Amino acid sequence: MIVKNKYSGDQFVELKDSNLQDAETTLNKAKKAFQAMRELPSFERYEALLRVSKELENRREEFARIIANEAGKPIKYSRGEARRASITMLFSAEESKRIYGETIPMDVESRGRNRFAYYNRVPIGPIFSITPFNDPLNLVAHKVGPALAAGNSIVNKPASLTPYSGYKLNELVNNSGLPENAMQTVIGPGGGEVTNFFLNSDEIKKVTFTGGIEAAEKLIKKAGIKKYSMELGSNSPVIVWNDADLDLATDAIVDAAMESQGQNCIHSQRILIHKDVYDDLSKRLVEKVAKLKVGDPLDDSTDVGPMIAEGEAIRVEKEVNNAVSQGAEVLVGGKRQGRFYQPTLVAKVKHDLSLWHNEIFGPVSILQPVKNFEEAITMANDVPYGLQAGIYTNNLDIATKAIQRLDFGAVLINDTSDFRVDVMPFGGMKLSGLGREGIRFAIEEMTEIKLAIFRK
């Protein structure tokens, strides 16, 4: 395939799909690289990952342009992603020096007399990662950084529509001073023979995946007994209480709803607004969304770019149109032109519809009035996902009750669901995934505990 900017005509390199022979060679290289990585002192892993971080920062504009070219993400947000990838690799470097163990008191009962024990964490082995299109650089970094920091080798398969960001990150890793082939990249469709080869291999000790639930179910059935980390998206709510700062809430909700064309696992999809402020906040949100500029992602003034493919824009269009046919009301947007779908707010959506219940993964959010706290919590939890949720309130009692009652991996107070600092434990409840990302937490899942017991 040729990765080519659809707007300016920029052309990068030809990336050919990997074949089964390539996959076998890659796995053999990963096994050999792991033997070198596991012996590498942590200070050398630190220094190498620090070089990658610095190079990403020095070449931020280049990487931002790559992201905007292949993913359609507006350049101002692509710059943010490139910076975050640099920080992710920096945190990975730092955490490579903090992989601790501890002693175990064996004399807690008589059989442990005259025994001393400690455990440490050791790298698990070659890892296979599968990364999505929506953050084609930073989500690769979130797999690769911790894997290398922990002393593993890793093979990454980026999304077929956005392979170049991960490919270029691989180049930086190759030049960092780490053992040869510590990171490798395979190109090709998800579910193809190359992907299946790595999933089926007993030599792959862990699979880390970001994507959809259906793909995850197929993946687990193919891969069998291995360690897994899976981030499977969400349908995130934001509750706005009647004492909220509406100026603060308005700006943040619009960003959370429309950034990256809503193609974001922590996209704020359902905005649950206390009835006392519903009319006021709805008007503010509609006015702000209507002012967003839709257009060329390489234009600094663009707020919303094209979706990843026209088929995705058509899917979103069908979801909204179906809701409208069932009585929903489009407050702003609701139109498609090719790959572009206008930023859209919808009201009066029935709760048995897909638009309410499932992840839309597009620039669409639902506005829903709520009468009381119980109704807000019930509606917020009324989906099969549980990644992140937000609530705007200045009432400490309401905030603490929301933390207790919301079935989500993270609850953000006076913020939307769409916030992440790359050191935090990131992951969800219910169908939103298995395990946690965030550098230290990912390293824990990419290592195994080895216990040593001494008898005096």
Would you please indicate which residues are annotated as catalytic (active-site) residues?
Answer: 231, 265
The neighbour count for residue 114, using CB atoms within 10 Å, is: 9
- DSSP-assigned states of every residue in 261-290: GG-STT-EEEEEEETTTHHHHHHHHHHHHH
Q: Token digits for 429?
A: 């409840």
Dihedral sign of CA atoms 221, 227, 231, 235 in order? positive
Measured CA distances, 436 to 92, 199, 231, 328 (Å): 15, 20, 8, 36
Cα separation, 34 vs 106, in Å, equals: 33
Q: Token digits for 299?
A: 């234009």
State how far Cα 138 lies from the chain centre: 8
Cα separation, 224 vs 401, in Å, equals: 40
Among 406, 285, 408, CA closest to 344:
285
Q: Token digits for 447?
A: 């290592």
Measured CA distances, 222 to 19, 103, 119, 195, 419 (Å): 19, 38, 33, 10, 33
The neighbour count for residue 272, using CB atoms within 10 Å, is: 23
Question: Is 154 in a helix, a strand, or coil?
Answer: strand
